[in-house]
Amino acid sequence: MSELEALYTEGTTPDTANIGDLQVSTLSHETTDHECDKAIDDPTTSFWLSAQTNTSQRITIKLSDKEKIHEVTLSLDGKHWETVAYGTWWPDTSQKVSSFQPKKAKFLRLSGPAPNGISIADIRVYETEFIEPNPAGGAWGTTIDFLLYPSPVPLIRFLEMSLSDKHGWLFTWTGGSVFQAGPSKEMNWYGTPDTGTTAPAGTRTCDGDAMGGNAVMYDKGKILAFGGSKYYETTEATKYAAIISIDQPDEPANVLQDAGGGMKYERTFHSSVVLPDGSTFVNGGQVVTLLFDESQPQLTPEIFVPDPTNNQDGTVLTGGGGLCGSCDSNHFDGQIYTPSYLLNTDGSSRVRPVIESASQNAVKPGDTVQITTDGPVNAEASIIRYGSTTHTVNTDQRRISVQLSSIGSNAYTFDIPSEPGIALPGYYMLFVLNNDGAPSHSVNIQVTV
């Protein structure tokens, strides 16, 4: 590859290339020594060169019956094909990689638009353990390959406190107060009136300091804190977790230590999003409830702050990971995770409620919202604030459960919390759920000052 890479400048292919003692034109098919099998042989000095046509170019690889390939495949019979990854690779000389959820198949096909032809030095297919589909743990969708590293635009919110905590877990609360849940094991209250105040809020004793850990407010005054490490680096990650309940400012928090027995795996520099039913999605394939249920494993490991994002249909888009300087791999891809609440036991989509109308899209704390739905729904709905991530910190997001009051056939009202420290100004996704726990598509509601 080093010989080939030396021939490229900013993605531009030269007219001719010298490989070994053979001069090859890259603009026309002038030799007959570049059959498609050259793309899967071991030497990187040989390569496949396609013909020049105005149609898409593709290469199909038949896998030997002796090979136990269970991944990155598209067909069992060479006739019926399933898309497992799609997207665009940057036109440079770097190695291109696509990772997919494992599939049992015998054929792999790579195709794409290439009106001027395409050359391949080598293709390698890797095997991994087959992951049996399990709708009870949700499902991962098709891999999406991006041109750029997929990362949301963050609002950088570093706060250096007297403990030198970085990436603080800070949550606004009532009376102009701010609760610091971590990452230090000592928790604190900060008051904003006048010149400001501080007060201790107790200690998380189960995991100690948790640099690179994560915390999310999954309901009013309920915070799930989990993962991290004693030091920013050089120490092992933890799987411990705590559920922190807060009520009055400047009073000690109630901490449920080692909640649910902790996570299944140790994690640090992970991210999470809270879901419409109050559970929390953690990058790497785990939906966290009070019992820490295990979700369908994700094939691609995500390293160093991959960023998950709530979608309005109740799914989660997660992608990226890496960009840490010394990381072995940076991930330019993403996948959509479908939680189990959207799936029947056979993997088909559940029937879900529909919000047909909302009386207003801009409200203030304490306002009442009226909605209509296509049928009866659960009495508890939720509004989830859009997040803003930096590193592991995404405390802009929060879920607030709201109680629906029936005012007629499929018509309901609910109140926005009157305290602006709880109903933090911003845009929220409103979800209703049916009695099976399946959420609707959300509608946007803006909470204003």
pLDDT digits (tens, 9 = 90+) for 107-163: 888 877 777 777 888 888 888 888 888 888 888 888 888 777 666 544 333 333 334
pLDDT of residue 160: 37
Residue 345 pLDDT greater than 70, yes or no:
yes
Tell whether 162 is covered by a domain: no
> Same domain for 290 and 364?
no
Which residue shows structure tokens 């399946």?
A: 438
Average pLDDT, the chain: 79
The domain boundary residue, chosen from 317, 342, 367: 342
Which among 260, 186, 175, 173 is positioned nearest to 222, based on CA atoms? 173
> Same domain for 231 and 323?
yes
pLDDT of residue 72: 56
> Same domain for 376 and 315?
no
In angstroms, how far apart are the furthest CA atoms of the chain? 83
> Same domain for 334 and 397?
no
> Same domain for 315 and 413?
no
Helices (runs of H) and strands (runs of E) counted in the chain: 1, 32
pLDDT of residue 180: 95
Q: Determine which of 19-23, 108-112, 155-159, 344-348 has the lowest per-residue pLDDT on average.
A: 155-159
Q: What residues contact residue 222 under an 8 Å CB cut-off, 6+ apart?
A: 243, 244, 245
> Same domain for 300 and 173?
yes
> Same domain for 184 and 280?
yes
Tell whether 161 is covered by a domain: no
The domain boundary residue, chosen from 303, 321, 342: 342
> Same domain for 381 and 317?
no
Residue 391 pLDDT greater than 50, yes or no:
yes
DSSP 9: B
CA distance 153 to 109: 35
We report the CATH number of the domain holding residue 369 as 2.60.40.10
Half-sphere exposure of 293 (CA within 13 A, CB side): 13
Q: Determine which of 82-91, 159-168, 297-306 has the lowest per-residue pLDDT on average.
A: 297-306
Residue 64 pLDDT greater than 70, yes or no:
no
Tell whether 156 is covered by a domain: no
> Same domain for 91 and 173?
no
Q: Give me the domain span that covers residue 106.
A: 1-130
Tell whether 138 is covered by a domain: no
Q: Regarding predicted confidence, which is higher, 449 or 445?
A: 445
The domain boundary residue, chosen from 130, 156, 187: 130
Residue 93 pLDDT greater than 90, yes or no:
no
We report the CATH number of the domain holding residue 333 as 2.130.10.80
Torsion angle defined by CA atoms of residues 255, 256, 258 and 261, in that order, rounded to the nearest 10 degrees? -160
Q: What residues contact residue 61 under an 8 Å CB cut-off, 6+ apart?
A: 40, 107, 108, 109, 110, 123, 125
Tell whether 153 is covered by a domain: no
pLDDT of residue 125: 83
48 touches 36 (CB < 8 A): yes
CA distance 358 to 371: 4
pTM for the whole structure? 0.77
Rg over alpha carbons for the chain, rounded to the nearest Å, is: 26
pLDDT of residue 17: 43
CA distance 246 to 218: 12
CA separation, residue 97 to residues 23, 86, 333, 341, 398 (Å): 28, 11, 9, 32, 35
Number of domains in the chain: 3
H or E element in which residue 272 lies: strand 272-274
CA distance 165 to 184: 7
Q: What is the DSSP string of 77-132?
A: SSSSB---EEE---SSSSPP---------SEEEEEEE-TT--EES-----------
> Same domain for 324 and 206?
yes
> Same domain for 239 and 368?
no
Tokens found for residue 64: 């030997």
> Same domain for 415 and 378?
yes
We report the CATH number of the domain holding residue 120 as 2.60.120
